[in-house]
């Protein structure tokens, strides 16, 4: 199979994801409530598209914002595959256009903002530190401030395991955004949920997509280190986790429970067995890149997990605050 062949860049099917994860994703509880009016930033990305589709399927009204016209085009195509009539409102817009953003929030009457837009590629951001912090921190804080001014009730921020004891520029930017939002929400009227997500399996630019491309081209699977491992969550589980946080009005820092840790060499083996494009394959060890870790975690050494009001999620708290409360 060559790059221009049909199916070369096709997203993973639910069966493929279940095979790679080793089990099907579990559904989280979704509160039965009146339809919400929601703004989703980064709606053209993998998780943004999956989330928007899920929200629409449960009767919510969604404004899908992204600066990628390709991503929004793919979103509308995916919408058309399951419904002839249900569509989000789509806006091609950069979050750095603060004047237009203020107008959107003021007149949108949104119940909640779900902020998924971010630079996420660790390697690229190592060489683009200023732009990474401008987008991942600056735009996030301004979006929160304007949403609060527009009297939006809830703000949901999608963070990452790479923000935990960050060693990369991207991870540091998300950690700084977590802290800034927490401080901003402390004395505010808008509720805040910070959702730390593992790697979404099969998402745009993910290792599984890289393996598929390499398999199609008959090239070795590139792995940074034989001991490297990552946390993975299925796209369906990730979107349900976010949607549940919105509909149940969860607050604080939360993590999902429906994820697995996979050694990347083992993941390569599973991909090869699943696709069977070539009878044999090779693994090329490339070495860890700048900012990369051997393993990742959803909580830092000074944090613990405590029960959340919602099954399938945990709240993250600092050890000192928990000890003080007791």
Active-site annotation, residues: 162
Compute φ and ψ for 58, nearest 5 degrees.
-100, 15
Side-chain-side CA neighbours of 45 within 13 Å: the count stands at 22
Q: What is the DSSP-derived secondary structure letter of residue 13?
A: P
Contact 282, 296 (CB under 8 A): no
Q: How many CB atoms lie within 10 A of CB 195?
A: 25
Name the one residue in this structure whose structure tokens are 């004891």.
Answer: 165
Q: Give which of 59, 7, 19, 22 is closest to 38, Cα–Cα.
A: 59
Contact 279, 146 (CB under 8 A): no
Contact 239, 296 (CB under 8 A): no
Contact 192, 185 (CB under 8 A): yes
How far is the C-alpha of 322 from the C-alpha of 326, rounded, in Å?
6
- Beta-strand relationship, 221-223 and 252-256: unpaired
Q: Quick one: how many helices (H) and strands (E) in the chain? A: 12, 14
How far is the C-alpha of 54 from the C-alpha of 241, rounded, in Å?
11
How far is the C-alpha of 70 from the C-alpha of 73, rounded, in Å?
5
Q: What residue spans of 127-191 are helical by DSSP H? A: 129-133, 140-149, 169-185
């Amino acid at each position: 199979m060559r790059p221009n062949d049909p199916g070369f860049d096709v997203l993973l099917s639910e069966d493929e994801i279940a095979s790679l994860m080793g089990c099907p994703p579990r559904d989280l509880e979704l509160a039965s409530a009146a339809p919400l009016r929601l703004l989703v930033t980064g709606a053209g990305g993998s998780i943004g598209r999956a989330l928007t589709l899920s929200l629409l399927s449960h009767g919510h009204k969604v404004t899908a914002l992204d600066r990628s016209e390709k991503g929004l085009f793919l979103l509308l195509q995916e919408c058309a595959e399951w419904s002839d009539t249900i569509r989000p409102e789509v806006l091609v817009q950069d979050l750095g256009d603060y004047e237009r953003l203020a107008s959107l929030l003021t007149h949108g009457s949104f119940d909640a903002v779900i902020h998924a837009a971010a630079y996420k590629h660790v390697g690229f951001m190592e060489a683009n530190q200023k732009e990474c912090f401008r987008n991942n921190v600056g735009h996030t804080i301004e979006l929160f401030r304007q949403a609060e001014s527009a009297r939006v009730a809830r703000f949901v921020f999608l963070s990452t395991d790479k923000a935990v004891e960050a060693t990369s520029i991207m991870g540091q930017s998300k950690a700084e955004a977590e802290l800034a939002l927490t401080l901003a929400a402390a004395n505010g009227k808008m509720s805040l949920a910070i959702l730390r997500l593992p790697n979404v399996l099969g998402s745009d630019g993910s290792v599984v997509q890289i393996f598929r491309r390499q398999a199609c081209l008959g090239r070795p699977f590139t792995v940074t280190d034989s001991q490297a491992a990552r946390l993975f969550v299925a796209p369906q589980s990730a979107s349900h986790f976010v949607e549940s946080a919105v509909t149940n009005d969860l607050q604080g820092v939360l993590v999902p429970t429906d994820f697995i840790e996979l050694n990347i060499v083992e993941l390569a083996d599973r991909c090869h067995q699943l696709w069977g494009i070539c009878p044999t394959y090779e693994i090329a060890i490339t070495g860890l890149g700048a900012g990369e870790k051997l393993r990742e975690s959803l909580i830092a050494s000074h944090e613990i997990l405590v029960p959340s009001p919602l099954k399938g999620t945990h709240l993250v708290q600092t050890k000192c605050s928990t000890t003080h409360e007791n």
